[in-house]
Structure 1
């Protein structure tokens, strides 16, 4: 039974009770005339009917209306259709002259006959995207924003590790992108592609949370837009490297020196023949030893010397997350190729040696900016500066490589011409790679130990076993915005958030999110916010719309277009039924109720005789 039926039943019951009471009083006293009794009964029924229509007025049909709503960066409404109504949301330009509504839902409630909605400007803010839309919605977007419109911040990294920032710009011809460190020094620059996308590289420094900057320049080198790039750097245990070589070589010697300088935990052994092993204490390639290793470096001879049990142990360790590098110092045998194929990496070629030229040196100023400020203990002297400059300005020597290719693999490095040098593939949770360079140690002999370190740092960072990351809270957006709701999921009971100003908010899990355990959070300040989950802390960065206007505008436009595309597709109606006015029925009810009261209380004529 609906509300109307309940109300009608209650009113009829009241009328029935009142009528019975009136008739019983008349039977006991007999002082009222028949006409008066009939009038009381009719007025009671009429009062009940009028009260019913006061509570539930009859619907009236109104013509469909067109409503134009101005949003951010909307043009004025001078060319709006004559029969349309124009309203402005708070973010619309103040010069629009239209009546302002606090939100879209209020604007639609004030115009209940709206069947066609025109959204002019950037689109709906986050607060309005859940509002039910009319059947027909038209977007009239403002001019596209100019500047950075998309940003992919780097993931959590470790000190000394390289990171990549990806972004996309639009509206700027002959643009140039620059990545700046927290001190304002340029660490990388690049020219965006035709679609405006660009990738810039930097190096993480000390552990902690910092803000790099991404700057966009026009053809005249004027700054068009700058957005912050948050970077979180966490301490991590040193990478554990195990080197098993088929013979002692200079490559192994300088690889050990690089690992020592870098702070890696390296264990190296080389076979000298007849069962003699050189280097560190020999270790067996067992499942336990491989589980305690992050990167295993082999050459073609040590691969060929593996027993079936060792090959099986390496294959299982790969699936469990181990990184394996096979460095070729000569042609691969058929057995070695078969082993690599069984592990998950097919190869071709490899019987011919070729000269190798590495890519040219980057801008020295950029390289120094990436390294960051020198420590006080290593303050340069004139002699150190001269030696360092002479060494690092030396030409790169020609190296040797084999024409060996990893099939269906991601390039491990690139040569001076941009051609792939080696390759790697995912195998389970680990990575298997091939590097056909035989003499990278010549870089050190030529005084270019910096390029030798850069080469091996890149290789090891690519292949190292992924860090065990504890279960973390999922943030609903890669670029949360101050003043807009974000969803935080995978929460534990009692999780709190601390803002940059120190204010703490307790998150209340929405029971409707079931296993996702999500809660809404409205950050009011930009910067690093800290989640406290028991004894563990997790940080996430909140962007300021005022400091990344183009990106915020583009996200608003994209979200509005998606919301309109997924809105209901019911056809528009020529007229719409809405509740009619209540005041005429209320006025009539008051008059009838007053007349009923007067007639009920009026005394009859005095008895005669």
Structure 2
């Protein structure tokens, strides 16, 4: 039984006794007794009133004195470690420390660039207000791989802010411009190159305005590694220019290639005899064949091929002519539904020079719910697709004359298309390398590494080693958190695999940092707007009005009762 309930029962009994003593002949006194009892109760326990919750201003990186003067009147103002030196603020190690002093429904107003990852969980579920300041001029987003394979094409994309008619340049490790391009109306750009040799490399991006003046630049650091040389069996129902240039590219790329070409009349052109059975296919990573070679396999060898795919082999079927109903039916065993397509058969690849002639595709389309595009034309329509089948992958390629890219001076685009196809479909033999989750790693900011094994370690730029603890909740992904303390190159080792990456200093590339902080804080505000109501709180209202009411009711009742008692005493006795 609570104190409030006991007090209510006590006051109620006192009022009841007073009313019984007075009787029903004095209604005014009875009413005053009731009013006094209620006023006394609410003096002790005033009604709860709703009002705005307490507001907490939080200074983050980029907070200015102007923001403080506009918002900080009478509000508590903790400053997080990233905030600049400011007057009249209290430095706190993190947001959770500041929130411990406030009620759970306190409102937060974020000043500056936004919250770092360390403070996101502490702010989640709170009523938030965030007024991001304008992003700096220059690079505000750069997406590039941290690890690439030697000789393969890689791309760096991103966004430029507040520069009209911007030109972006890609610089190689020597500082020479290897590619340049215009940013679009939204400031987006994509440039690319290929790593010539293994090792750690520092490329660069530079943006120039309409007058050619350099405005901003950022480093693009990556590790180039030797790729595995896939073992490929290439089978064709006849010679042709497409096969000729494909074989030439494969040999130049270091692919371990075995070729079988049917010449008709039972004759075959082979570089070494191959017995097509399960044991032989286990020694290959990828089988590339056209529809004529597919038919020549026969049902028994196609069954062997399907079993090899289920065990991890990759298959790429080049469609160079019409498919029969039997061919289409057999491809359904791989989950690929091939249909005739009435769309134009002349196409242009994305990312080729304007003077490149149009290419020809076969009039087919592939329907599969989980199929992914392997090659697309300039309009985004697929020219090749693949899907997982068991532990392996099966792809279809219906672009018929990619060799014309080589003849028109676009050999690099031709090589990139086939390299991506071979890399995607070939059997994965090597242990997968660790991966860095997210972009733009910074010192003192939490980052996540995945594909790790027990005992994985990180070696920082000083040579200090840190053993990682894999989170058991990552459901087989093998992920662990790491907090870098020094800028520069880091290496993570996991079993026989390793990966290198660069951690930026806190003040490096400020546009990238400002964009990342703004986006993750705005995402938090948008999420919590759905799950939180307007930040209100309830507290006991003022007691003095009730006390004054009790005092007046009690005083008036005492006066009326005294007056009534005098009249009773002055009445002459009856009889």
Same fold (TM over 0.5): yes
Alignment check: 8 A CA contact 1:226 1:547 kept: no
Tell me how far apart the structure 1 counterparts of residues 344 and 71 of structure 2 sit (CA, whole Å): 73
Counterpart pick for 1:523 among 484, 494, 501: 484
Residue 426 of structure 1 and its aligned partner are, at CA, apart by: 1.8
Residue 218 (str. 1) matches residue 209 (str. 2): yes
CA shift for structure 1 position 160: 0.7
The 5-angstrom pairing of residues 323-334 of structure 1 reads 323-334=314-325
C-alpha distance in 1 between matches for 2:476 and 2:399: 49
Query: Aligned residue for 2:364?
Result: 405
**Cα-Cα RMSD:** 4.2
Question: Superposed, which structure 2 residues align to 1:337-416 within 5 Å?
Answer: 337-349=328-340, 401=360, 403-408=362-367
Distance 1:489 1:438 in 2: 40
Deviations 1:216-242 (A, max 9, x none): 333334334333323222223322222
CA distance 1:403–1:92, change in 2 (3 Å):
same
Write the distance in 1 (CA, Å) between the matches of 2:137 and 2:439.
21
Residues 1:310 and 1:501: Cα distance change in structure 2 (over 3 Å): same
Match of 2:557 in 1: none
Which residue number in structure 2 is paired with residue 500 of structure 1? Answer: 461
* CA–CA distance in structure 2, aligned partners of residues 506 and 235 of structure 1: 27
Shift of the alpha carbon at 1:114? 9.1
Cα displacement (A) at 1:162: 1.2
CA distance in 2, matches of 1:401, 1:339: 25
Is the 8 Å Cα contact of residues 422 and 434 (structure 1) preserved in structure 2? yes
- Any unmatched runs of 5+ in structure 2? 1-50, 542-575
Q: 1:502 to 1:362 in 2, by over 3 A?
A: farther
Shift, 1:302, TM fit: 1.6
* CA 516–327 in structure 1, closer or farther in 2 if over 3 Å, else same: closer
| Residue of 544, 550, 553 corresponding to 2:511 | 550
The alignment partner of 1:315 has SS state of helix
| TM-score where L is the length of structure 1 | 0.66
Question: Any conservation in 2 of the 1:150–1:551 contact (CA below 8 Å)?
Answer: yes
Alignment of 1:437 with 2:427, yes or no, is no
Residues 393-432 of structure 1, C-alpha deviations (whole Å, 9 max, x = no match): xx97x687354233347665567x6685732222424141
| 1:101 shift after superposition | 1.6
Q: Is this contact kept in 2: 1:399–1:439, CA < 8 A?
A: no
State yes or no: 1:291 paired with 2:282.
yes
Asked if the contact 1:149/1:551 (under 8 Å) is kept, the reply is yes
- The Cα of 1:308 is off from its aligned counterpart by 0.7
Deviations 1:309-366 (A, max 9, x none): 2222333444444443333444333333433444344444589997777789659xxx
Q: Structure 1's 338 and 190: CA in aligned 2 closer, same or farther, altered over 3 A?
A: farther
Contact 1:344-1:432 at 8 Å conserved across structures: no
Residue 585 (structure 1) aligns with: none
In structure 1, the gaps of 5 or more residues are: 1-61, 364-394, 578-609
1:529 CA drift (Å): 0.8
In the other structure, the counterpart of 1:99 is 89
2:106 — aligned with what? 115
Q: For residues 70 and 304 of structure 1, do their structure 2 counterparts lie closer, same or farther at Cα, with a shift above 3 Å needed?
A: same
Scaled by the length of structure 2, what TM-score is found?
Answer: 0.69
Residue 161 of structure 1 and its aligned partner are, at CA, apart by 1.0
Assess if the C-alpha contact under 8 Å between 2:153 and 2:416 holds in 1.
no
1:312 aligns to 2:303 (yes or no):
yes
CA, structure 1 residues 512+343, in 2 after alignment: closer, same or farther (shift >3 Å)? Answer: closer
Cα distance, 1:270 vs structure 2:
1.9
Task: Give the secondary structure class of the aligned counterpart of 2:292.
Answer: helix
Determine the C-alpha separation between the residues in 2 that align with 1:83 and 1:356.
66
Q: Tell me whether 522-531 or 137-146 shows the greater mean CA deviation.
A: 137-146
